[in-house]
Structure 1
Amino acid sequence: MKSHLHGCSCVENIAKSAMRYQQEHPESVIYQVSLMSALLSGVYEGNTTMTELLEHGDFGLGTFNDLDGELIAFDSNIFQLRADGTARRAAPDQKTPFAVMTFFNPTDEYHIDRLHSREEIHQIIDEHVRSDNLFCALRIEGNFSLVDTRTVPKQTRPYKPMLQAVEQQPIFHIKAREGVLIGFRTPEYMQGVNVAGYHEHFITDQRESGGHVLDYQVLSGKLTFGTIEKLIVDFPKDQDFKNADLSPENLNEAIRAVES
């Protein structure tokens, strides 16, 4: 009898230890709404709300229905970065045709105490995440000497392909501001599913302006980042998606053009 009880105790302890480990080391998962190739083809309407996005993560980026500005999410707050250069908190019932979310669990930290270019920040991450086949989420909180951003203006039906939509995008040069920059590094083999390479959005500390990042220089602050172990893609069920050309011949060149 004592041996039996002792066995139960061991099993219980193992189960508790496993549960504690899971709580302390949650699995990193990217939840993605639709595909980048669908957005490129003009699939600008989705049914996923901001409330639903936050069920799958507290950190991410994307856009809004009708391609109405850029989406940035962190600390379970979602903001809409608009084509006029302003920012506002997103409404819970706003919807997205494309978004990437995760629960941000960084494993690495780097303190920035001198001017770093965007390329230098990326090099630091690349040196720590030695495999090019892994996703990585990153966040910078700091003092930026310059952030160049763009935001695509709201579209109306009949929708233009994204390459045409971005021709009228305004570009902003945000200087000497503190703010938050978040982003993802996506492997090259995922081009079309997502945006291969680095994809980053920025918002100022006062949460009044920001956009899709083209370039930046950061003077001081903190960089945190961590790899992602799993990707879940939620495909749209509407006719726009079903009829879209998701593998055009110029897919890679087109994505590079709209993102840079």
Structure 2
Amino acid sequence: MKHSVTDCLCEQQLVSTVSGLRQQRPESVIYQTSLMSALLSGVYEGNVTVADLLKKGDFGLGTFNQLDGELIAFDSEVYQLRSDGSAREADPQQKTPFAVMTFFQPQYRHRFSAPASRQAIHDLIDSQVTSDNQFCALRINGRFSAASTRTVPCQHRPYRSMPEVLGQQPTFRFSQRDGVLIGFRTPQYMQGINVAGYHEHFITDDRQGGGHLLDYQLEEGELTFGEISKLVIDLPGDSDFLQANLNPENLDSAIRSVES
């Protein structure tokens, strides 16, 4: 089996991965509002505000009411990544139908001084957080030689399902841009409740552009990440949620189609 130069570099760099960030800190908890299966079924309105989210965490991702773009949060700042490829700071009173938040407490740090693909980065994380039964939160500050994103356009009633909406999603490509990537690795048994596997959002260093990541190549930067073993879910009580079909037959394939 052949190994690429990038693979060899990652194997060498793995030795320098720092895992000494564990200290006496509060337990890490993921807070989630609503379910991915609800979003998939067209439940695009919620009552949780951005201000509410920041009480539950300083780091996370999601979307906004009416599916109006992507949400990215880090360092207690929340941004709206819009369907024209732009970004802006979110208003505290904006609401979300689906979001995932935590107080970011990484346990590992790794410096990339050579290019690394998305898959190589995921492989490195998987080599440290070896159980797929745990959640993982990750962040990269660095320079991206390429980042392909998509951003959902604002929707209006009567709402279509998410697979129908994303058939018309705008996509963007960023080249040689500094920026911040944040994301979660979610266990496979959580498919439908959340998005199983890796789910990542990106914003440029000037906070003017970004989106949901489809693929990326890191040129150089710092990765921090850590496992989380507790999840709290806040389920909506409105009629849209209560009447939604949250367990369709094609749930797994539908989620994979909208997230990849």
Shared fold (TM-score, shorter chain, > 0.5): yes
Unaligned runs of 5+ in 2: 1-22
Distance apart, 1:153 and its partner CA: 0.4
Equivalent residue, structure 2, for 1:66: 66
Instruction: Write the mapping of 1:203-218 to structure 2, written as runs, cut at 5 A.
Output: 203-218=203-218
Q: CA deviation at 1:26?
A: 1.1
Q: Which runs of 4+ in 1 moved over 2 A?
A: none
Q: Which amino acid aligns with 1:127?
A: S
Root-mean-square deviation (Å)? 1.0
CA drift at 1:229: 1.7
1:257 equivalenced with 2:257 (yes/no): yes
User: 1:134: which partner in 2?
Assistant: 134
With structure 1 as the length reference, what TM-score do the two structures score? 0.91
Distance 1:166 1:228 in 2: 30
Q: Secondary structure at the match of 2:167?
A: helix
2:75 corresponds to which residue?
Answer: 75
Deviations 1:6-55 (A, max 9, x none): xxxxxxxxxxxxxxxxx932101000000000000000000000000000
Provide the residue aligned with 1:94 in structure 2.
94
Give the aligned partner of residue 54 of structure 2: 54
Counterpart amino acid of 1:220? E
Secondary structure of 1:248's match? coil
Distance 2:104 2:151 in 1: 24
Q: Distance in 2 between matches of 1:32 and 1:26?
A: 18
Structure 1 residue aligned with 2:10: none
The number of residues matched between the two structures is 239
Structure 1 vs Structure 2: percent identity of aligned residues? 66
Deviation at residue 113 of structure 1 after TM alignment: 0.5
Larger Rg: 1
Q: TM-score, normalised by structure 2?
A: 0.91
Instruction: List per-residue Cα deviations over 1:226-247 (Å, max 9, x = no partner).
Output: 0012000000010000000000
Q: Secondary structure at the match of 1:199?
A: strand
Aligned to 2:159: 159
The residue type equivalent to 2:178 in the other structure is E
Q: Secondary structure at the match of 1:121?
A: helix
CA distance in 2, matches of 1:215, 1:227: 23
What is the match of residue 168 of structure 1? 168
Counterpart AA for 1:112? F
Q: Which has the higher helix share?
A: 1
Unmatched segments (≥5 aa) in structure 1: 1-22
Query: Could you tell me which amino acid in structure 2 is paired with residue 60 of structure 1?
Result: G
> What is the deviation of 1:74?
0.0
* TM-superposed deviation, 1:194: 0.2
SS in structure 2 of the partner of residue 202 of structure 1: strand
1:214-229 matched pairs, under 5 angstroms: 214-229=214-229
Give me the whole-angstrom Cα distance separating, in 1, the residues matched to 2:24 and 2:48: 29
Matched, 1:111 2:104: no
Distance in 2, Cα, partners of 1:97 & 1:175 = 31
Per-residue CA distance 1:144-200 (angstroms, 9 max, x = gap)? 000000001000000000000101110101000000000000000000000000000
SS of corresponding position for 1:207: coil
